[in-house]
Structure 1
Amino acid sequence: MSASKTSPQPRSTANASQTGGRQVVWTLVASAVAGLTAYYSSFSRQATSISTLPSSYALCADGQRIYTVDSSRPTVDCILVEKHSIAATGTLGEVQAFWDDYQNELIRKFYGNEPSAKKPLPVYNAPADAIIVPGLADAHAHIVQYGFKMQLRLDQARSLSELLDLLENHVRAHPPDPDTWIEAMGWDQTRWSDTDGTFPTSADLASRPSLASLPIALHRVDVHALWLSPKAVALTKAHLDGTFPDSVPGGEIVRDPTTGTPTGIFVDAAMSLVPIPKWSAAQMREYADRTVQDALAVGLTSIHDAATSVAEFELFQQMDEEGKLPIRVYAMVDSDRLSPEERKDIEIHDPSPAAHVRMRSVKLFTDGALGSWGAALLAPYSDKPDTRGIMRLPEDALSEQVREWWDKGWGVNVHAIGDRANKAVLDAFEQISRSATHQHEVAQRRPRIEHAQIMRVEDLKRSGQLGVLTSVQPTHATSDMWYAESRLGPERIKGAYAYQTLLQSSRDGVLPLGSDFPVEGINPLLGFYAAVARLDTEGKSPHGEGGWYPSERLTRAQALKGMTLDAAHASFAEDTLGSLMPGKRADFVVLDRDIMDESRPFADILEAKVKATVIDGKVAFGGI
C-alpha cells in the first residue's frame, strides 16, 4: 500500500531513497525462466488494485508505527502476510530475510533448488502519519438491532419536541397503514432539554394529531423500557384479554400514581407483554447488512453479539455461507428468547477460533438499566427512594440457570448493572468454584459479567479473584456520568464504572471492551476515547476537563489491548486473533493518525479515520 488512495503500489527503486535507502524486493532471483520472469516483471509494474493484492506481501509503517499488542515486540516497522496469516514481524530486513528463508525451503522441497521458482515479495507502505493496529473487536454489541435503530434515529433528538417532530416527519415520508406498528429505538429522557428527566407518557405521543391514532412502540436507548402510544396500549390490553396484570415478575408497567392506569411505559420483562410484530427474515437481513457495512468502515473485524436469537444465528450462518459476512461474529445465545424446544436442543457451534460464526456462550439477564431505574441496587436509589430497581432473575433462579448452562458445557455471560445484580452473579460463580473438580475451572471457562457497571468495592476485587471476566463499555460511563452520581450517591459511585480498578483486579490482566451498540455509537474509537479521557465528545465532564473520576482512566495501550487481545481472550480466540504476531490471522486496521501517541490531545482521537480494514489479509474496506 502506498500514498496513493486508490491505487496502492509496490515499492519501486524510484522511491527507495525516500524510505531510508531500502532496496525494493520486486525482482526475480538469478537464472529465471523467461516466461516466469516476464510474468512477474509485468505484475510488478502495474498498479495493483486493493481487491487484487497478492496473497503474500509486506506492509510497512516506518518509525515503528505498527502497534502489535504483542508484549514481546509492541511496535514494529513491518508485517509479513502469507495468505490469511501473519508470517513475520520486524524491520523490512527481518521480514525479507524470513521470506527468503521460507522461499528457499519451498524451492528445496518442491523445485529441486531451481532459483527461478522463487517468488518475489511485494512491499507496500502505509501513508505518512498512519498507524496500523490489530483488527478492532467489540466485545458486547447487538448486530441486527443496530441496523434496526438506524432506520429512524430517535437518539438524535435532544428534546421531547424534537423527537415528536422526527416521528411526524417519518410518518409523512412513510405513510403507514393504520394497523401497521411503528417501531423505533433510541430515546433518552435524561438528555431532553424540555422535560425534567421523568419518563414520557402515551399522552405525549397523542399530543401530535398525526401520531395519536397509530400503534407506536419506541424502545429506550438502553432497550430496557418501551414507550407506547394510546393505540399500542389498547392493542396490548386486548392482547392480554382486556386486563393488565397487577405486577410483572422481573418488570414493571409504570402507572399513574393517582388513577393507577398505565402511563405507556413498560419496563424490562413487562415489554414482552406488548404484541409487536416480529421482524421478517428480509428485515433482519437488511438490518444485519447495514451493520456489517458500518462496522467495517470503523475498523471492526470481530463482534461479540450479546444476545443472539436462533433466527439471528441462522442468519449469520447464511451470510457466511454466501460469503457476505467478512467480520467475525462470536454469538452469545439469548436465553430469554429461546423456546422450550430450542432450550433443550441448542448446541455449541465452534468450528475454530478463526471461524466467522461461532456460538459457545449463553447470555443471561439479571436486572435492568440505570437510566430506566431498573438496575438492581442493594439500597434504594438516591433520586428515587421508592425503588431499588428490578431483578429480572432473583438470586435463586439466577444460580439455577447459571448451573444449568454450566453443566451443559456452555460459557456463561451474565448482564449485570446494579450492585445487587453483580453481587448475585459473583455469588453464583463462587458457588460453582467451590464445587469445581479443578481448582481453576471457573477461570478456564472464562465466565463473564456483561457491563459490571455498579459494584461494591469488595466485589471489584472478588471478580478478579474468581477469574470472572468483566466486559465493560467505556462510553456507558461518559453517557451516564451526568446523572449517575445523583442516582447512586457519593459512596456507591466509588464502585461504578471503575475500569482501571477492574483491570488491576483481573487475575490475568484482562478487561474486554465493547460499546453495546446500538445503545452507544458503533465507532470503537468513541470507546477508546471514553476509556482514556473520561470525557464526553465535547471534552466535558461533571468534574471538568480533567475527566470524570480520572483515576479510573485506562492508558492508551490498555485500551487498545482491551478492544483487541482482551476481547479475543474473552471469546477463547487469543491464540488466533487480537494481536499482530506470527501465526495469528492477518486482521488489522490502518488509521490515518497515531492515536497511541500520548503527547497528542485526547480530542485528536475523535478525528481519526479508518483508511483500511483488513481481514484474513484481504482488504474488506477502504484503500490507501
Structure 2
Amino acid sequence: MKCLLACLITLSLPVLADTTVIYNANGYTPTYSGQLQQFSTLVIKDGKVVKVGDDKLKASFPNAAVFDAEQQTLLPGLIDAHGHVIGLGNNLAQLDLRGSMSIAEIQKKLAVFAKNNQGWIIGRGWNQELWPNKQFPTAADLDKVVKDVPVVLSRVDSHAIWVNSKAMELAKLTPTVQSPAGGEIIRNQAGQPSGIFVDKAESLITAHIPTPSDQNVNNALNQAGQHLLSLGITSTHDAGIDKQTWQVYKQRAEQGTLPLRIVAMLSATDPSLEDMLRAGRYKDLNDFMSIRSVKIYADGALGSRGAALLADYADRKNHQGLMLETQQKLEQLYTLSFNHGFSANTHAIGDKANHIVLDAYQNVFKKTGGILLRNRIEHAQIVDPADIPRFKALKIIPSMQPVHATSDMHMAEQRLSDTQLQGAYAWQTFLKQGSVVAAGSDYPVELANPFDGLYSAITRQDHNQLPANGWRVTEALSREDALRAFTLGAAYAAHQEFKLGSLEQGKWADFILIDKDYFKVPVQEIFTIVVNQTWIGGELRYQKAQTDNQSKAQ
C-alpha cells in the first residue's frame, strides 16, 4: 500500500488523462459474454479500459504511469440499482433511529437530539417489529419528550410516519379527518388520529414541513456521495427525484461536480412531472448523470401492512394492504412516460400489486408500445408464482434488494402464509427463467453497504449466520451471480451495460480495491469486506485513511 499511496500523491491530473497501468492485482470482472475473467493487470487510457491481462501486459505500455496493487482484490465498481441519494444525505444529518429496540430507547435518543436542534425535528429508522409488543407507537409517546416543536419520524421503510401532537396541530388535523385514498390514518380507541400515518396519509403532515433550499440538497448530495464511495459504490440509481433535485442534478452534471454516477428516476408524484418529461431525457458526456425513467408507486410496504396482497394478511384479518394507484392511473402514467421516451419503474411489493402492475404494463404495451424501454418492477418482493414468467414475457426487469429478504424474513413469516411466500424474494427463480436481476439496497431504508447485499444474496442469513441453512435458501445466488446483479445487471437496467458494470475494453474504468478476496474469503466474512480505494473513470475518488476506524455498520 505504501508504494501505491506514494504514487498517488505524486500523480497529477494531466498524467491521469494518459495511460495508467494497475498491476499485481487480484482482479475479477464479470463479462458481457457471461464468463468471469481473472486478471492481474488493468490498462486505462482517458478514463476507459484498454484491456486486462497478466503482469506481462505492463511491458507493452512503457510510458504509462504504473501502480502496484500489492495483490489487493480488484473488482468493478459496484452499482446500487435502487437507493435514495438525497434521503441518505439527509438521513446522515437527521435523528437516526435504526435498530432501536424500544420506544424508551427512541425517547432517549430524541431527548438528546432535541437539545441541539430547533424547528422541525426529522428522524428515520424506527421499526416496531423490533420492539417487545410489536405495536405501533402513538403521538403521546413523543409528547412525553418533545411537545413544543413538531416531530416527524419515518418508519424504516418510509411507508409510515410517527408524529407528535404538535405536528398534527400545525397540520390542522381534526379528529374527524378522513384517510386519503391509498393511505391510512391509524386511530386510537377513541377514533382519533393516533400519530401514525401510513403511505399517502403521510402527506397530511409532510406537506407542512419547510421546503429545503438548493444548498440543503447539494449538501445532502455531497454527504451521500462520499458515504457511497467509501462503500465501493461508483454508480447508483436514485429511485424518485422531485423537480428541485432534478434541477440540482443537471446543474452539478454540467459543472462536472457530481461525486459519483447517478441514474435518476423522475418521481411520478411530483406536480411538475409533465414539465420534466417534456424537457426530454438527459445524459452528460461522461455518463455521470442519466435521466430517462419515471418512478411510480403501486403499493406500500410489508412492514406497515401496506403492501397490496391477493389474500388477507396472516396477522391482520380482512386486511389486504393498500394500492396507492388504480390500474387505470398506472396505465395513464405508463402511457405518459412511454410517449416521452421514458421507462416506467414501478414500486410493487405485494402479490396483488405485482399482478396489477403486470396487467397495466401489458395493456399499455398493446396500445402504445414501450416494451423495449427496459421497464422495471422495483422490489418485486411477494409475487404470485404464476406471475413470475410474465416478467420475462413482458421484458420487465425485477429490480430487487437482497438485504430485504434477510431483514424481513422473521416479519414476513408473521405477515404471510406459506402459500403467499412461495414467490417471495425469488432471485434464483427469476435468473433461471432468463430475467436480468438488478440488485440494490434501497438505502437509507437499509444500510447502503453493498457487501451486506452480496452476503444476503449468497447466504439468505443474518450476520449471525441464522437461520443455520439460510431462509428459503433455494432462492440464494452464487457469488458470481450476486456480483453480476450488483454490476452488469444493474448497468443493463439503466441501458448502460456497454459503458459500465465490467472491466472490458472501451468501458469506463470504474473499480474498487478491497481488503479480502470476495471469491475466496469464508462466506460469513463477506459482509465484513472493507473498501480501500474507489476509482471512477480511472481517477481515485476515495482512499481509506490509515487511521479510519469507521464502523462497517455506517
Q: TM-score range by the shorter chain?
A: over 0.9
Equivalent residue for 1:273, pick from 180, 204, 208: 204
- Within-5 A mapping of 1:585-596: 585-596=508-519
Shift of 1:8: 3.6
Secondary structure at the counterpart of residue 249 of structure 1:
coil
Q: Does the alignment pair 1:76 with 2:18?
A: no
Compute the TM-score of the two structures, normalised by the length of structure 2: 0.93
Shift of 1:533: 1.1
From the two aligned structures, give the one with the greater strand fraction: 2
**Taking structure 1 as reference, are residues 329 and 555 closer, same or farther at Cα in structure 2, changes over 3 Å only?**
same
Counterpart-to-counterpart distance in 2, 1:399 and 1:223: 25
Counterpart-to-counterpart distance in 2, 1:4 and 1:52: 20
Counterpart-to-counterpart distance in 2, 1:447 and 1:503: 17
The equivalent of 2:253 in structure 1 is: 320
The equivalent of 1:166 in structure 2 is: 109
Shift of 1:307: 0.4
Contact 2:315 2:415 in 1 (8 A): yes
Gap regions ≥5 residues in structure 1: 10-46, 100-118
The equivalent of 1:511 in structure 2 is: 437
The equivalent of 2:552 in structure 1 is: none
The equivalent of 1:548 in structure 2 is: 471
Shift of 1:596: 1.5
The equivalent of 1:481 in structure 2 is: 409
Counterpart-to-counterpart distance in 2, 1:95 and 1:424: 55
Counterpart-to-counterpart distance in 2, 1:374 and 1:206: 26
The equivalent of 1:375 in structure 2 is: 307
Counterpart-to-counterpart distance in 2, 1:158 and 1:495: 30
Q: Does the alignment pair 1:207 with 2:149?
A: no
Q: Does the alignment pair 1:190 with 2:129?
A: yes
Larger Rg, first or second structure (1 or 2): 1
Counterpart-to-counterpart distance in 1, 2:429 and 2:274: 42
Contact 1:51 1:619 in 2 (8 A): no
Counterpart-to-counterpart distance in 2, 1:419 and 1:202: 32
Counterpart-to-counterpart distance in 2, 1:545 and 1:50: 51
- Within-5 A mapping of 1:201-240: 201-208=138-145, 211-237=146-172
- Give, as a single letter, the amino acid of the residue that structure 2 aligns with 1:529: Y
Counterpart-to-counterpart distance in 1, 2:406 and 2:169: 37
Secondary structure at the counterpart of residue 413 of structure 2:
helix
The equivalent of 2:272 in structure 1 is: 339
Contact 1:147 1:287 in 2 (8 A): yes
- Give, as a single letter, the amino acid of the residue that structure 2 aligns with 1:374: G
Shift of 1:535: 1.1
Residues 291-323 of structure 1, C-alpha deviations (whole Å, 9 max, x = no match) = 011011111110100001111122122333444
**Taking structure 1 as reference, are residues 65 and 343 closer, same or farther at Cα in structure 2, changes over 3 Å only?**
closer
The equivalent of 1:20 in structure 2 is: none
Contact 1:157 1:163 in 2 (8 A): yes
Shift of 1:341: 6.2
Shift of 1:351: 4.2
Residues 229-274 of structure 1, C-alpha deviations (whole Å, 9 max, x = no match) = 0111122225xxx565323111111112x31100011111111111
**Taking structure 1 as reference, are residues 173 and 351 closer, same or farther at Cα in structure 2, changes over 3 Å only?**
closer
Residues 54-86 of structure 1, C-alpha deviations (whole Å, 9 max, x = no match) = 431211245x53334453561122111012100
Secondary structure at the counterpart of residue 200 of structure 1:
coil
- Within-5 A mapping of 1:426-445: 426-435=358-367, 442=371, 444-445=372-373
**Taking structure 1 as reference, are residues 515 and 82 closer, same or farther at Cα in structure 2, changes over 3 Å only?**
same
Contact 1:590 1:613 in 2 (8 A): yes
**Taking structure 1 as reference, are residues 5 and 173 closer, same or farther at Cα in structure 2, changes over 3 Å only?**
farther
Shift of 1:406: 1.6
Q: Does the alignment pair 1:621 with 2:542?
A: yes
The equivalent of 1:141 in structure 2 is: 83
The equivalent of 1:564 in structure 2 is: 487
The equivalent of 1:252 in structure 2 is: 184
The equivalent of 2:98 in structure 1 is: 155
Compute the TM-score of the two structures, normalised by the length of structure 1: 0.83
The equivalent of 1:284 in structure 2 is: 217
Residues 464-517 of structure 1, C-alpha deviations (whole Å, 9 max, x = no match) = 22210000001111110111011011111111111111122234xx11000010
Q: Does the alignment pair 1:460 with 2:388?
A: yes
Counterpart-to-counterpart distance in 2, 1:207 and 1:525: 39
Secondary structure at the counterpart of residue 286 of structure 1:
helix
- Give, as a single letter, the amino acid of the residue that structure 2 aligns with 1:263: S
The equivalent of 1:48 in structure 2 is: 10
Contact 1:365 1:393 in 2 (8 A): yes
The equivalent of 1:42 in structure 2 is: none
The equivalent of 2:420 in structure 1 is: 492
Secondary structure at the counterpart of residue 196 of structure 2:
strand
Equivalent residue for 2:459, pick from 519, 526, 533: 533
Residues 361-391 of structure 1, C-alpha deviations (whole Å, 9 max, x = no match) = 0011000000000000111100011311010
The equivalent of 2:375 in structure 1 is: 447
The equivalent of 1:584 in structure 2 is: 507
Secondary structure at the counterpart of residue 171 of structure 2:
helix
Gap regions ≥5 residues in structure 2: 547-554
Counterpart-to-counterpart distance in 1, 2:265 and 2:73: 32
Equivalent residue for 2:526, pick from 598, 602, 605: 605
Secondary structure at the counterpart of residue 252 of structure 1:
strand
Shift of 1:3: 5.0
Secondary structure at the counterpart of residue 124 of structure 1:
strand
Secondary structure at the counterpart of residue 237 of structure 1:
coil
The equivalent of 1:425 in structure 2 is: 357
C-alpha RMSD of the superposition: 2.1
Contact 1:227 1:265 in 2 (8 A): yes
Q: Does the alignment pair 1:67 with 2:29?
A: yes
Secondary structure at the counterpart of residue 101 of structure 2:
coil
Q: Does the alignment pair 1:521 with 2:447?
A: yes
Counterpart-to-counterpart distance in 2, 1:407 and 1:340: 13
Q: State how many pairs are aligned.
A: 540
**Taking structure 1 as reference, are residues 459 and 247 closer, same or farther at Cα in structure 2, changes over 3 Å only?**
same
Shift of 1:139: 0.3
Secondary structure at the counterpart of residue 391 of structure 1:
coil
Runs of 4+ in 1 over 4 A off after TM superposition: 49-53
Contact 2:23 2:58 in 1 (8 A): no
Between 1:337-346 and 1:268-277, the stretch displaced more is 337-346
- Give, as a single letter, the amino acid of the residue that structure 2 aligns with 1:168: A
Contact 1:138 1:304 in 2 (8 A): yes
Counterpart-to-counterpart distance in 2, 1:522 and 1:585: 23
The equivalent of 1:358 in structure 2 is: 290
